[in-house]
């Protein structure tokens, strides 16, 4: 019997770890060939004695996911996820699977056992000393409430924790992995805009697909060689071109100021039909989405681009660190547009004024704890982390200089890229970068991030 034959017979499941199974194989060869020392081969303690059952499903959310290759058939609503699972001394692996209908889970070892309950998929995967690939075949349901694949507008929306309605994932913001994407079942006359590859670790809300009758324009190439594009829908060319006129320069500013961009060498804004009254964007790098109604807003385009550095490049450790993503992206957008003669601060001050004076909106920007809240229905999902976070950085810049803050943010990005960080990590980093202003920076953090009342309210006449 050869190893191939052993594999071809179907899985004889190792009782302990893969390492133990592989170690047992030479002994099985000896026993089958009838050669050896003349005595009958008796099974060693490590050898599988009979065809064993595949291991039972075990919960293991700590086992990292390295890369997911997704094939999505949008017409059939079928998906195949090939997931590279990290080595682990603990067996099992778990995913968030929302409303997915799981058909099968297989690996090179054969069919794997799984159980699905309360939106979680637990798989009976042995422990291993190296990465293991598994294949999950499944069906995903159509959604209509910004919680998965929405066929009617032709757009996916996974923020904040709906990834499990489209593919097996880990929905916490700190969990990063690489992605590959293939999309089929695209209706006649439509283009599917999606990245074939996300080459650096990204949170699970980042991969996205948009369908539409897209026209694509090149907006220019940065000095680092990143091509910046615009995908717009019919009838919106004028305001889309108008809104993106600063985007290539903004990308160039981010790259030159904060560090290299990591999610591809072609990027851009994709107009999506979120529907009336939904203004904004979503940081689906490298092809971030911007609501059709917001395509004329230079701020939204710059803000979504900035998430390539904060939110995606450096991920949030906890949902409570929303300000690390949104406050910093808002601040970076203001910095990039300021270089091009656009002052976002009057508008930001009005937004901050609203946050500070509306009792129904105002909250602490960085609540204590980690992942104790569910952001999708928590009051923190508001303008508070955006505007208080940006104001905190602006007031640090008033003390030490905006260029010095840029340098400190660049070092933070370099040090924390590809990992998660807390807002307090950034505060500590700034205090260490400016020792003579450390106490002042701590006071600003207390005022803008950790207490509800605003330390000051912008004195400005706002609409």
- Nearest-approach distance from CB 299 to Zn ion, in angstroms: 11
Q: Given the DSSP bridges, would you call strands 266-272 and 227-232 parallel, antiparallel or unpaired?
A: parallel
- Residue range at the interface with Zn ion (CB under 5 A); choices 84-92, 109-117, 327-335, 448-456: 327-335
- Nearest-approach distance from CB 290 to Zn ion, in angstroms: 11
- Residue range at the interface with Zn ion (CB under 5 A); choices 325-333, 377-385, 389-397, 423-431: 325-333
Q: Are 285 and 307 within 8 A, CB to CB?
A: yes
Q: Are 248 and 155 within 8 A, CB to CB?
A: no
Q: Of 329 and 454, which has the nearer Cβ to Zn ion?
A: 329
Number of residues that bind Zn ion (CB under 5 A): 2
- Nearest-approach distance from CB 305 to Zn ion, in angstroms: 10
- Nearest-approach distance from CB 281 to Zn ion, in angstroms: 7
Q: Of 55 and 313, which has the nearer Cβ to Zn ion?
A: 313
Q: Of 273 and 307, which has the nearer Cβ to Zn ion?
A: 307
- Which among 346, 355, 324 is positioned nearest to 453, based on CA atoms? 355
Two tokens at 252? 């160039």
- Residue range at the interface with Zn ion (CB under 5 A); choices 14-22, 26-34, 85-93, 323-331: 323-331
Q: Per-residue contact track with Zn ion, 146 to 165, x per CB under 5 A? A: --------------------
Largest CA distance in the chain: 97
Q: Given the DSSP bridges, would you call strands 287-291 and 266-272 parallel, antiparallel or unpaired?
A: parallel
- Nearest-approach distance from CB 388 to Zn ion, in angstroms: 14
Two tokens at 233? 């829908």
Q: Of 163 and 329, which has the nearer Cβ to Zn ion?
A: 329
Residues 6+ apart with CB under 8 A from 326: 311, 385, 386, 389
- Residue range at the interface with Zn ion (CB under 5 A); choices 39-47, 243-251, 318-326, 439-447: 318-326
Two tokens at 114? 């799984």
- Which among 98, 175, 101 is positioned nearest to 138, based on CA atoms? 101
- Residue range at the interface with Zn ion (CB under 5 A); choices 31-39, 133-141, 188-196, 328-336: 328-336
- Residue range at the interface with Zn ion (CB under 5 A); choices 249-257, 322-330, 371-379, 433-441: 322-330
Q: What angle do CA 13, 88, 57 make, to 5 degrees?
A: 45
Q: Of 290 and 329, which has the nearer Cβ to Zn ion?
A: 329
Two tokens at 380? 């923190």
Q: Of 112 and 329, which has the nearer Cβ to Zn ion?
A: 329
- Nearest-approach distance from CB 323 to Zn ion, in angstroms: 11
- Nearest-approach distance from CB 303 to Zn ion, in angstroms: 5
- Nearest-approach distance from CB 311 to Zn ion, in angstroms: 6
Q: Of 329 and 396, which has the nearer Cβ to Zn ion?
A: 329
Residues 6+ apart with CB under 8 A from 456: none
Q: Of 326 and 406, which has the nearer Cβ to Zn ion?
A: 326
Dihedral angle at the C-alpha atoms of 44, 46, 50, 54, nearest 10 degrees?
180
> Per DSSP, which regions of 140-247 are E strands?
148-150, 155-157, 177-184, 191-193, 197-202, 210-212, 215-221, 227-232
What phi and psi values does residue 305 have, to the nearest 5 degrees? -60, -40
Q: Which residues are at the interface with Zn ion (CB under 5 A)?
A: 326, 329
């Amino acid at each position: 019997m050869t190893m191939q034959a052993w594999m071809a017979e179907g899985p004889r499941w190792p009782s302990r770890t893969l390492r133990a199974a592989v170690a047992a194989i030479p002994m099985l060869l000896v026993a089958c060939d009838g050669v050896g020392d003349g005595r009958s081969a008796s099974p060693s303690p490590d050898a599988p004695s009979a065809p064993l059952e595949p291991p039972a499903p075990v919960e293991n959310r700590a086992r990292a996911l390295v890369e997911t290759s997704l094939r999505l058939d949008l017409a059939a609503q079928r998906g195949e996820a090939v997931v590279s699972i990290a080595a682990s001394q603990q067996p099992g692996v778990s995913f968030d699977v929302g409303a997915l209908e799981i058909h099968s889970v297989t690996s090179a070892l054969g069919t794997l056992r799984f159980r699905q309950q309360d939106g979680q998929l637990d798989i009976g995967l042995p422990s291993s000393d190296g990465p293991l690939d598994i294949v999950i075949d499944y069906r995903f349901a159509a959604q209509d409430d910004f919680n998965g694949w929405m066929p009617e507008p032709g757009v996916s929306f996974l923020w904040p924790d709906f990834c499990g309605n489209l593919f097996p994932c880990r929905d916490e913001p700190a969990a990063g992995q690489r992605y590959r994407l293939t999309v089929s079942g695209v209706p006649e006359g439509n283009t599917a805009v999606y990245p074939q590859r996300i080459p650096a670790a990204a949170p699970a809300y980042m991969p996205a697909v948009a369908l539409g009758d897209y026209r694509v324009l090149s907006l220019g190439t940065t000095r680092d060689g990143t091509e910046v594009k615009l995908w717009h829908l019919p009838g919106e060319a004028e305001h889309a071109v108008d809104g993106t006129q600063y985007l290539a320069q903004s990308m160039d500013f981010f790259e030159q100021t904060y560090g290299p961009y990591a999610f591809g060498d072609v990027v851009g804004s994709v107009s999506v039909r979120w529907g009336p009254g939904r203004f904004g964007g979503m940081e689906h790098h490298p092809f971030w989405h911007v609501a059709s109604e917001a395509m004329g807003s230079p701020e939204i385009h710059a803000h979504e681009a900035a998430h390539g550095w904060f939110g995606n490049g450096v991920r949030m450790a906890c949902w409570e660190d929303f300000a690390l993503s949104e406050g910093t992206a808002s601040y970076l957008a203001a910095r990039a547009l300021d270089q091009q003669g656009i002052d976002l601060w009057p508008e930001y001050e009005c937004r901050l004024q609203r946050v500070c004076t509306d009792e129904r909106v105002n909250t602490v920007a960085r609540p204590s704890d980690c992942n104790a809240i569910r952001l999708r229905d928590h009051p923190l999902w508001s303008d508070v982390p955006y505007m208080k976070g940006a104001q905190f950085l602006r007031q640090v810049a008033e003390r030490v200089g905006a260029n010095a803050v840029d340098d400190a943010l660049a070092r933070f990005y370099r040090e924390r890229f590809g990992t998660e960080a807390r807002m307090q990590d950034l505060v500590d980093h700034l205090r260490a970068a400016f020792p003579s202003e450390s106490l002042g920076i701590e006071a600003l953090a207390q005022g803008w991030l950790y207490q509800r009342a605003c330390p000051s309210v912008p004195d400005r006449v706002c609409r």
